[in-house]
Amino acid sequence: MTTTALVLAILRLQGLHSPGPAEVRARLLAATIAVEAARYDLDPLLLVAVAAHESMFRRDAVGALGELGYYQIKRNTLATRGFDHLSDAGLMQPRINVHLGARHLARVRRLCGNAPPIAWLSVYSGRSKCRPSPYSRAILRLMADVQSPEVATQ
């Protein structure tokens, strides 16, 4: 999938269809997502859908339990992965947050024995079993929402 297609997907999931500042941010985010998706052999549209679901593409999003950034990274997840030295501001930097989100998704996929995403996305969201859940279904619906001819052919 091209970066242009990812930009269109990000804009569509935000309900935006015209150029402007949001397009500039989407281009920067799409480029970062493309790099991390390739690094971890993940579908870039999956990374886009997870960011849409977790934060609606708000890099400064803070969850009810202190989760941070696009991928709502939890401090305790960082502590177990050797990234506890990062400040909150550092965790909200797009490159760092996308890298950590993609890395965590790839780790969860391995833990679930490379099962289909509908199974392992449940573990990403904090569940203990590799099986379908409302969370994994929501992510797959978001992916389907942006699989239009104009996004798919870019």
Q: Is residue 154 part of a domain?
A: no
- Higher pLDDT pick, 85 / 131: 131
pLDDT, tens only, 104-142:
899 889 988 878 888 888 887 777 788 898 999 999 999
Q: State both tokens at 28.
A: 């920067």
- Global pTM reads 0.83
The b-or-e profile of 48-76 (16+ CB within 10 A means b, else e) is: bbbbbbbbebebebeeeeebbbbbbbbee
Domain range for 52 is 3-148
Mean pLDDT of 82-87: 76
Mean pLDDT of 61-90: 82
Domain tally for the chain?
1
Q: What is the CATH number of the domain that holds 9?
A: 1.10.530.10
Q: Is residue 153 part of a domain?
A: no
- Which residues, at least 6 apart from 35, have a Cβ–Cβ distance to it below 8 Å? none
Q: pLDDT at position 86, please? A: 80
Q: Is residue 81 part of a domain?
A: yes
